[in-house]
Amino acid sequence: MTNLLALALLASPLQAQEVPAEVENQILVMAERLRSIEVNVGQDREGNWHCSLSASSGSEIIDSRLCRTTTHCVRENGDDRAAIEECVRTHRSRTLADFRQRLIEERQ
């Protein structure tokens, strides 16, 4: 299986509605976790794609999305590591915004 490493979603400032400091702190913690995770994506001889993470973000939903996003970026960009990393970075804001929204909804 060929392994390609992609940087995890990096922290980025999010623009959104006014949210409690506790929620913002959770978002910052999640962004920091994501920064340290490496994603391994590869394809086996049968053409099936596989993904593994060096660590969990602590959220199954975020972990699954990280694998889906990275696999998509690898399939789209082949062996071009810089393009893969840029592709993953373009998805980070949406992932963290969705995480923020879920936290806000859970507090209501």
Asked if the model's pLDDT at residue 8 lies above 60, the reply is no
Domain that holds residue 97: 4-107
CB 44 within 8 A of CB 50: yes
Give the angle 39-60-95 at the CA atoms, nearest 5°. Answer: 70
| Poorest-pLDDT segment among 35-49, 51-65, 86-100 | 86-100
Structural domains counted in the chain: 1
pLDDT at position 81: 93
Taking 60 as the threshold, does the pLDDT of residue 4 lie above it?
no
